[in-house]
Structure 1
Amino acid sequence: MSGELPDVQATSPDVTVGLNQVGVTGVEKVVKVNGSGGTPLILMAEFEVFVDLPSWRKGADMSRNMEVIDETLEAAIDEEVERVEDVCGSAADRLLNKHEYTSKATVSMEAKYIMPEETPESKRETQYALDIIASATATEGETRTEIGAKVTGMTVCPCSQGMSAAHARETLEDLDVDEETINDFLKEAPQPGHSQRGHATLTVESSGMPDVHLHNIIRIARDAMSARIYNLAKRPDEDHMTQAAHADAKFVEDCVRAMADGVVDEFAHLPDDAVITMKQSNDESIHQHNAHAERVVEMGTLRTEVE
């Protein structure tokens, strides 16, 4: 047998229908990002890589996609890449340039990130685990990148807490406690409510991604819930978390709105066409179902609503 092997993927398909995304998923790579603070991030990341496919072409070149990903991640290790999303942006640009038949390339990744921190009361060193989300979409003349995080925290149901406060008021009234003292007591001692493990997702997508720091995104998402949680907790830390959560009871909807307020305050410099994705899911403790709320909105609209 002589000559070049046939390029079957470049032939015409039997059904001439174009496809929005063709590519590979579940690509695991170790990525090193040289953060602007001088401390590098070492991430075990999982990538998804897609290009669009015109109706006249049978298939995408999967081996070429994998080659581009390998080249890009090696470049991210060797070069001074300061932002996680730049890895995806570089890969998307390379995909677009290497595939003459495609008009859009998308690269997304998720990675587990372990962040050192200190417990709130005992001041013990501990670690907090979260998921980093990054992606990029490259088209002719523009590459939009996205950076964000999925974090966990604690919420307390305001409705449940309100019923407990009503019971406490009735009990104190039966004990002939005066109304002013009852009001002072309930203000200083938040009543019990059923709690949930909360999962917050916050991402920011923009062209060029001007000055959006991952740690600020993490902080906004964590603080949007009733209280932060910690991997290590001594008894004073447990008391701190319980008291803090019950002092700031929030519905799932409240958490999304708190994220919105934090984004507008922290990222006032973002352009109006930046896309903000905010999601909150709570694992209910007294129901078999869970609660969920979300909002995807352009920054200009969100800024107007919040302000």
Structure 2
Amino acid sequence: MEVLEDVQSRPDPRAMIIQRVGIRAVRHPLRFQDRSGCAQSTIAQCNMYVSLPAHLKGTHMSRFIEILNDYADPYSVVRFADVVERMRQRLEADSACLEMRFPFFVQKAAPVSGVKSLLDYEVKLMGEVTPAGYQLTIAVMVPVTSLCPCSKSISEYGAHNQRAHVWVHARTRETVWIEEIIDLIEAEASCQLYGLLKRPDEKYVTEYAYDHPKFVEDMVRDVALRLQNDQRVTWFSVSSENFESIHNHSAYAMIEMEK
């Protein structure tokens, strides 16, 4: 069989280090293990990068796909470092970075009827191995209900509310499960969302939201306070975009904090 030249391994005369080179927007099916130990099937959009030393012309792009195809174990926040380190070794790089974004499902019981349904959340995991060590950033988007305190205060009856998307990005010194972040955010919302509600449930969530009004500023401050008090968290950002029901624009707030 004819031996073909490995062009990527040619020396490069420009002698410039590339901090990140790789592939983006790769969709790949995978299994992801949740807090209970169960693995759910999902589809992730992946960005995969490694560093490239100054003396090499290019990296081996095909190896990124091989890594995804060869990894058979369920992914998890605990084992994410294994995949990133495998990338670094396979591509013989000093550093490697793996970003995955995927829908994550949680089965929830309605507050009164107890009827069960799935609710989807958006998750991003960003793991990076460098000579300084490994760093994982966990990001979760949780949809919630937000009811306006001002509307409740000035109206004779009723109050306008909206659906909000709350994002938390967190770096930790110990394992923090995706479900923990979901629980934290939902506990600070005017009301959490459910995939399926019966009439008694709809009455409950409507009245619960009315009893727990929050501005977008309240939302990010209350979530940030919880994260600030969690000793496992070393850095975080929390943002909320409230899709207004009486305006054709959104309300937004964000807090970022290093501990």
TM-score > 0.5 by shorter chain: yes
Between the two proteins, the alignment pairs up a number of residues equal to: 259
Distance 2:208 2:257 in 1: 30
Local SS of the residue matching 1:85: coil
Indicate which of 145, 149, 156 corresponds to 1:154. Answer: 145
Contiguous gaps of at least 5 residues in structure 2: none
CA distance change for structure 1 residues 256 and 36 in 2, over 3 Å: closer, same or farther?
closer
Q: Work out whether residues 52 and 104 of structure 1, in 8 Å CA contact, stay in contact via their aligned partners in 2.
A: yes
Larger Rg: 1
- What letter corresponds to residue 136 of structure 2 in structure 1? T
- What letter corresponds to residue 108 of structure 1 in structure 2? E
Contiguous gaps of at least 5 residues in structure 1: 169-190, 301-307
Deviation at 1:217, TM superposition (A): 0.8
- Provide the residue aligned with 1:196 in structure 2: 162
CA deviations 1:112-169 (Å, max 9, x no partner) are: 12211111122212221112222211011411112332111110122222321xxx3x
Q: Does 1:242 align with 2:206?
A: yes
- What letter corresponds to residue 58 of structure 2 in structure 1? G
Decide which structure has greater helix share. Answer: 1
- What letter corresponds to residue 140 of structure 1 in structure 2? P
Q: Does 1:280 align with 2:255?
A: no
Give the superposed CA RMSD: 2.4
Distance 2:200 2:242 in 1: 25
CA distance change for structure 1 residues 238 and 5 in 2, over 3 Å: closer, same or farther?
same
Indicate which of 77, 88, 94 corresponds to 2:86. Answer: 94
Decide which structure has greater strand share. Answer: 2
Matches within 5 A, 1:22-37: 22-35=21-34, 37=36
Q: Work out whether residues 128 and 231 of structure 1, in 8 Å CA contact, stay in contact via their aligned partners in 2.
A: yes
TM-score normalised over the length of structure 2:
0.88
Distance 1:33 1:154 in 2: 27
Local SS of the residue matching 2:77: helix
- Provide the residue aligned with 2:127 in structure 1: 136
Identity %: 26
Q: Work out whether residues 77 and 175 of structure 2, in 8 Å CA contact, stay in contact via their aligned partners in 1.
A: no
- Provide the residue aligned with 1:176 in structure 2: none
Local SS of the residue matching 1:31: strand
Distance 2:10 2:159 in 1: 63
TM-score normalised over the length of structure 1:
0.75
